[in-house]
Amino acid sequence: MSFAALSLVNPAALWGLLVLPALVAVHFFQRRARKVETCTLFLIEALVPESAGGRTWERFRGSRSFWLQILAALLVVWVWAEPRWPRADSRQTVVIVLDDGLAMRAVEDEARAAAAELMALAEGKAERTEWVVMGSDPRAPLHYRGEERARAEAALAEWRPVLGTHDYATALRGARGLAGTGGLVWFVTDREEKAPRDQAAVGVGRRLANVGFAGGAVERAAEGGLRWRAVLKNASDETQGRAWWIENASGAGERRRVEMPPDGVVELTGAWPEGAERVTLRLEADDFDADDALPLVKPEWKRLNARVEASGEMGDFFRRLLSGIEGVKLVSGEVGEVGNMLGLRVVEEDGAAVTSAGAAIILAKDGAEKNRGLSRAPVVAERHVLVDGLNWQGLLGPGAAGLVMNAGDEGLLWQADAPLAWLRAGAEGRRQLVLNLEWASGNAGRLAATVLLMRRYAEAVRDAQTGGYAANFDAGARVSLAEADVAAGAGWTLVKEDGGGWRAVDAVGLKVLRAPAQAGFFEVRRGEEILVRGAAQFADARQGDFRGASRFRREPLAAEAETARTRNTQGDPLAAMWLALAGAALIWSWWPGRAGEMNWPKKGAEGAKIQKGTVRI
């Protein structure tokens, strides 16, 4: 058994060692004689001899009873502390889960130090230990997995928190699976509410008076041109003042100061600089730098030609709708000019299929069904991106019109088991949106859900075109690529501006591409061709609010700790013998011995001795 690997189940028992100073004090506290020089005749004449001595401290005297009592105390404390050693065949897995939320950037060093301390405490709890270092992002690979603690601690330096608000349960469940029975999972975070109640966790957060950008956009101005807009958030309970300025290729602009009330939101806006392709709004630095810069690029949309063939009120509605979508151009040419993948048609149908395989919004002709009452059946929406989150309960009308849904079509809206909207399968895929409503007999043209459905479809068709575009994205948001561009071949590369240069951060060949998790400018390239120019923005204000951050420590559940201890360690097999020996030592310390062995004053120099002219008592 190695004392280096020793652990104590009950370390509070070490307080019992305080009995040792008490035992030593008792053996110092004894009666001793005091030396008094006086006239011998005076002592003889005294009728009642009176001692001037008393209990005083003197030099330490060892004795059998003292050492036996010390031995008994040490043995009792040893057994009471319940020492345990790792079993020869024991093995444990220690998993450190680091919070990948951006808020941890303010306490990165504290988080790494806490993780290293947890490893030091777990070292030696079993003969062999497997270390696992991972983040709370379930999609990310492990930072380290192996039996070398030095490499596990080195992996902590590579950890960078980059995510917004996310679910921690998936990563923690995966960590428990890696730990297995008898393993240990620690969660290092900045807020106690992030950790489940049964999860061992260490909090390293601290309250910060943070002010930062919470999002921004570039929009068309009413007077023409472009304007930038940014939202500034004060995530504290005190009034805060910060300086801000704008930077572009021409340099930094004038610094201005903004005063923000407690928990306040301020909107900043201004004209887009002439000739600039991108700008960066900057804020006076504080302890959390992730939201101190807001990059913006000048939007450039893909082009989409659209022709409205519907007549009357329905045609006017779609002309207004499509003309308000960036990148869409209304044309009046022949169908051959737009009747392909690069165009969008809005047509009326009375039951006959539209022959074009291109994108189209197909409407039921007005007046196809007349003199029908209002349908009171609820409208049910399928789970689809085009209708997600839209409220159709305000739709009034006679219900479904006379258009027929084919076998290969995908339903979107239903009322009384009849389809109100669906995607029709065409030669180029499901690109035609069918709206099976009687426009003149209901309020579909005045319902917000209808406007959003049509707009989403038109924007999806526009974004499906080949070619490049420029846009602003939330950090980690999906970046759309045209299916034709994706199918053209591999070799896609996401590059991010880093220190004035461009650095490749990911090579992708997937249909789903996401913006970088950290704020900054990026591009998606295929060879020399730039398909996307973008700016990733910090837009999760919850990560910039540190009012709930705290320092805490939540130990593993007692049952889990006991299971791990029983599985990996063994107790002192001689504990019963040590208790018996302690009892025997106490009995022996109280057993009377020879007079010379007691702590009484001995004859001689320390005893009473009468000398000529003096007496020593």
Q: 12-59 pLDDT, tens per residue?
A: 777 777 777 777 776 666 555 556 666 665 555 555 444 444 455 556
Q: Do 425 and 368 fall within a single domain?
A: yes
C-alpha neighbours within 13 Å on the C-beta side of residue 498: 9
Q: Do 482 and 590 fall within a single domain?
A: no
Do the domain assignments include residue 531?
Answer: yes
Q: Do 315 and 416 fall within a single domain?
A: yes
Q: Do 482 and 534 fall within a single domain?
A: yes
The better pLDDT of the pair 129, 498 is held by: 129
Q: Do 567 and 578 fall within a single domain?
A: no
Q: Do 405 and 369 fall within a single domain?
A: yes
Here the CATH number for the domain that contains residue 155 is: 3.40.50.410
Total number of domains in the chain: 4
Do the domain assignments include residue 240?
Answer: no
Q: Do 25 and 65 fall within a single domain?
A: yes
Please list, in sequence order, all residues whose beta carbon lies within 8 angstroms of the beta carbon of residue 593, skipping any fewer than 6 positions away.
Answer: 64
Which range is least confidently modeled, 88-97, 138-147, 158-167, 258-267?
Answer: 88-97
The better pLDDT of the pair 467, 263 is held by: 263
pLDDT band at 232 (very low <50, low <70, confident <90, very high): very high
For residue 272, the surrounding DSSP H or E stretch is: none
Do the domain assignments include residue 231?
Answer: no
Return the closest-CA partner of residue 537 out of 99, 135, 230. Answer: 230
Q: Would the pLDDT of 172 be above 60?
A: yes
Mean pLDDT of the residues in the chain: 79
pLDDT band at 193 (very low <50, low <70, confident <90, very high): very high
The better pLDDT of the pair 246, 16 is held by: 246
Domain that holds residue 171: 91-207+548-571
pTM to 2 decimal places: 0.68
Do the domain assignments include residue 484?
Answer: yes
Considering 409, 428, 463, which residue would you say is the last residue of a domain? 463
Do the domain assignments include residue 247?
Answer: no
Q: Do 107 and 151 fall within a single domain?
A: yes
Q: Do 311 and 408 fall within a single domain?
A: yes
Do the domain assignments include residue 478?
Answer: yes
Quote the pLDDT of residue 437: 86
C-alpha neighbours within 13 Å on the C-beta side of residue 312: 9
Q: Do 418 and 350 fall within a single domain?
A: yes
Q: Do 312 and 458 fall within a single domain?
A: yes
pLDDT band at 611 (very low <50, low <70, confident <90, very high): very low
Quote the pLDDT of residue 595: 45
Do the domain assignments include residue 498?
Answer: yes
**Cα torsion through 338, 340, 346, 350, rounded to 10:** 130
Q: Do 401 and 480 fall within a single domain?
A: no
Q: If you search the block for the tokens 């950790």, which residue do you land on? A: 195
Average pLDDT over residues 520-532: 85
- Rounded Cα distance between 19 and 74, Å, is 9
Considering 396, 431, 463, which residue would you say is the last residue of a domain? 463
Here the CATH number for the domain that contains residue 515 is: 2.60.40
Do the domain assignments include residue 221?
Answer: no
Q: Would the pLDDT of 293 be above 80?
A: yes
